[in-house]
Structure 1
Amino acid sequence: MGLKKNKLKIWLELGLAILLVTVIGIGSNSGVFDRKIEKKKTEQASSKEALKKAEQENSAAKTGNDSKTEEDKSKEEQTEEVIAQGQYPIMGKSPVTVEQLVTYFKSSGETYPSKELQKGGAGSIETFCQMYYDEAVAEEVRPEVAFVQTMKETGWLQYGGDASIEQFNFAGLGTTGGGVAGESFADVRTGIRAQIQHLKAYATGDALNQECVDDRYEYVTKGCAPYVEWLGQRENPGGYGWATAERYGYSIVDMISKLKASR
């Protein structure tokens, strides 16, 4: 009888031990689950916070970029003003019109050589100026730069130097003095195009937009004279330039100022 009671006691204690272990296990697992849930909530909160922070940073960055863009624009405008005041770019858009080119020529008092230039396709000063404008715009050269250079080089289309009007060479391309006549071209437009392409070669290393008709284009150090003032070798920082005459480019700029004032 005593033996049975001892066995029963042992089984009861064993059962209580198993029950206790089970309860503890459940409690522990519950704690693990709670911690996992809490961890997940924390991660979600952190993720939301990070996303919010990222959005704020992006917004700030965008605002900063916008401000920087405005600042850059302001600086660019200031730079353009400085260039306009001190150095006249060969390349770029221009407000000068064909009518102004015509008016400027007529203000010289010289007679347009219609008979000679008619043979090359430009029987009137209006046609001549339109060609200059179109060819210059095609190569992104300022029309007034090329046109005024021609007036300077040819003495308002009266010539008298080494080149003759029949060559349709409007800027002394290839003339080196001592009676060297320089280049000749098939017609007025080709001569104008060659001059403008030569100017572009001095101003920039950008490729030509039209087929090259300037036989001397390859000999120019590209981009050595982006400003009209630098076309004179004496004033060019690298000693390059279109002509050796003192203040050659500056005299062209002075003429351009008068052209722009003409109406």
Structure 2
Amino acid sequence: MENRKRERIIEAGMALLLVITLLAAGQSGKIPVVKSQEIQVQADSGKENESKEKGNTENTDSETTGTEKNSGDTGKNESGSDMESVAVAASAAQYPIMGKSDVSVQEMVDYFNRSGRTYPAAALAAGGADSIETFCQIYYEEATAEGVRPEVAYVQAMKETGFLQYGGDASIEQYNFAGIGTTGNGVPGNSYADVRTGILAQVQHLKAYATTEPLNEACVDERYEYVKKAAAPYVQWLGQQENPQGTGWATGKNYGYDIVEMIKKMREGSET
């Protein structure tokens, strides 16, 4: 019994000595001392890097169809499952393209009127929209029919056309309100039979970027099949520079963020 006690005392002493040695080494910098919080941060950072590397690999699988200036369409990809997974983890501050809206037609009308621009009634009446009220009503109807938030499509059109004043490669007679198909260097982009068809094409193009859900109406967007589905579920991601996969509607910096800021001003009733 006495011998066993001595052995236990010796073992305890050796263990204590080992602990003291390790602590001393840690203080001297020979052994890295990692706190539990630092471990968690390192783990999270590893996951983030892994996610980024995976995203970069997936980007190389996209087939680019052209050098569009105002459209970031990519090759056929109907699944969009990878981007939907990313979307789930996105910040709540992001503005969804799809969903119900509490913005009214009158708010849309008021937003245009506050811009100080004159509604081009003569040009758009031939396409079925003789007033800004009718124009906004069509946007509301077609966007709602496809499940797209009306204010998103409408404000995007205001940004793309300079509040229906145009001046770029596309002309107002094309009823193309979002630069679909424009590639720069004078290429005018797509044309549509009337205002409603042009608006629906834009709405369907937005839906293609936002979700994998099928269209509710007959497809009038000739470029629908080229969009990588669900690549931009949020307005902010419509800009290629801000999109996690580098795809999107337009190449301009902060393109989607500019639209969100305009929506905010419309909601607040402030100047454009």
Question: What displacement does 1:262 show?
Answer: 1.8
1:165 alignment partner in structure 2:
172
1:141 maps to what in 2? 148
- 1:261 is matched with 268
* Partner in structure 2 of residue 126 of structure 1: 133
* Higher RCO by CA contacts (8 Å cutoff, separation 6 or greater): 2
Distance in 2 of aligned mates of 1:259 and 1:231? 19
In the TM superposition, residue 113 of structure 1 has moved relative to its aligned partner by 0.2
Aligned partner of 1:41 in structure 2 is: none
Give, in whole Å, the separation in 1 of the partners of 2:269 and 2:215: 31
Aligned to 1:67: none
Match of 2:254 among 247, 251, 258: 247
Amino acid paired to 2:172: I
- For residue 238 of structure 2, the aligned residue among 212, 231, 241 is 231
Aligned partner of 2:114 in structure 1 is 107
Q: In structure 2, what is the Cα distance between the partners aligned to 1:186 and 1:208? A: 20
User: Unpaired segments of 5 or more residues in structure 2?
Assistant: 1-87
The residue type paired with residue 179 of structure 2 is G
2:240 corresponds to 1:222: no
Report whether the alignment pairs 1:92 with 2:105.
no
Other-structure match for 1:187: 194
- TM-score calculated relative to the size of structure 1: 0.68
Distance 2:98 2:266 in 1: 18
Take 1:152 and 1:101, find their aligned partners in 2: how far apart are those partners? 13
Q: What number of residue pairs does the alignment pair up?
A: 183
Q: Distance in 1 between matches of 2:162 and 2:112?
A: 11
Structure 1 Cα separation of the partners of residues 216 and 206 of structure 2: 13
Partner Cα distance (1:176, 1:262) in 2: 34
Any idea what SS the aligned residue of 1:136 has? Answer: helix
Q: What is the rounded CA distance, in whole Å, between the counterparts of 2:96 and 2:138 in structure 1?
A: 21
1:178 maps to which residue?
Answer: 185
Q: For the residues of structure 2 that align with 1:206 and 1:177, how far apart are their CA atoms?
A: 31
Find the aligned partners of 2:108 and 2:117 in 1 and give their Cα distance: 14
Task: Report the equivalent of 2:208.
Answer: 201
**Aligned AA for 1:252?**
I
SS in 2 for 1:194: helix
Aligned residue for 1:256, secondary structure, equals helix
Q: What is the aligned partner in structure 2 of residue 155 from structure 1?
A: 162
SS at match of 2:173: helix
Encode CA deviations 1:13-51: one digit per residue, 9 max, x unaligned.
xxxxxxxxxxxxxxxxxxxxxxxxxxxxxxxxxxxxxxx
C-alpha distance in 2 between matches for 1:212 and 1:107: 34
* Structure of greater Rg: 1
- Following TM superposition, by how much is the alpha carbon of 1:186 offset from its aligned partner in structure 2, in angstroms? 0.2
Distance 1:255 1:165 in 2: 22
Equivalent AA in structure 1 for residue 99 of structure 2? G
Structure 1 runs of 4+ aligned residues shifted over 6 Å read none
CA distance in 2, matches of 1:259, 1:177: 29
Unpaired stretches in structure 1, ≥5 consecutive residues: 1-78
Alpha-carbon RMSD across the aligned residues, in angstroms, is 1.6
**Correspondence 1:17-96 to 2 at 5 A:** 83=92, 86-96=93-103
AA of the residue aligned to 1:257: K
